[in-house]
A = this chain, B = another copy of it.
Amino acid sequence: MKKLISSQEAMALIKTGDTLMVGGFGLVGAPLTLIYALENAEHATDLTIISNNLGEPNRGLGKILRAGRVKKAIGSFFTSNPDVIEYFQKGLLETQLLPQGTLSEAIRAGGAGIGGFYTKSSAGTLLSENKEVREIDGELYVLEKPLHANVALIRAFRADSLGNLTYYKSTRNFNPMMATAADIVIAEVDELVETGDLNPEEIITPHVYVDYVVRSEIKLGGARVG
């Protein structure tokens, strides 16, 4: 399989100052093997991380925050990691909080060549401060910008040898959009299959979007694979 690399090789693709997208809704659908490798990839600092959450205190992405390697967090729900609030209040972390639908749509827009879009979500709230708000058909809409990243770390269920991906139940979440919106897309997968083994109708991420595949070594609950 041409695109198959190790998680350590994957980390060599990340540079200081990069913007990373990291899939998952909490830990579900998060690329746990890649996140673990990122914790150890100390060469990569000054990171901007686009992810729904930023891990938990000193767990997952939260570990990278405590190591002082995160410059900015863009997500929808930081409450699960009180460190984020603490670092933000101390001026050690920039944050950008977006409604979850806006976050996912902005990532999709980034991958789909959309220069911006209008959503009613957050109109009239603090989250639309400093954003363009306009009335469309009598209702207020907020202009939201697309999100892009240098590297996306995503999790899928199966990959074929070309890199076509399927997902498993609620692990899909942000992963398919992130696969479209980064210069380098690295997919951690549970199973590798031959090209042709996936039903063409059920491929969610066509291989054009996938640059590298890494075998998942950590499952939810902490069990190690293989």
Contact = CB atoms under 8 A, between A and B. Distances in A.
A113 interface: yes
Nearest to A167: B201
B201 A166 contact: yes
Interface string A97-126: 000000001000100111111111000000
A114 B116 contact: no
A68 to B, nearest CB: 30
Contacts of A199: 202
Given A199-B202, A201-B166, A202-B202, A115 B109 contact: no
Interface in A154-201: 166-169, 199-201
B116 A120 contact: no
Given A167-B201, A202-B202, A118 B119 contact: no
A189 to B, nearest CB: 15
A141 interface: yes
A118 B201 CA distance: 30
A223 interface: no
Contacts of A113: 119-120
A225 interface: no
Interface residues of A, number: 23
Contacts of A137: 115
Contacts of A139: 115
A208 interface: no
A136 to B, nearest CB: 4
Contacts of A118: 114-117
A116 B136 CA distance: 9
B119 A117 contact: no
Nearest to A123: B115
Nearest to A157: B201
A88 B115 CA distance: 32
In the complex, which of the residues A112, A199, A201 has the most CB atoms of chain B within 10 Å of its own CB atom? A201
Contacts of A109: 117
Residue from A118, A166, A168 having most chain B Cβ neighbours under 10 A = A118
Interface of A: 105, 109, 112-120, 136-137, 139, 141, 166-169, 199-202
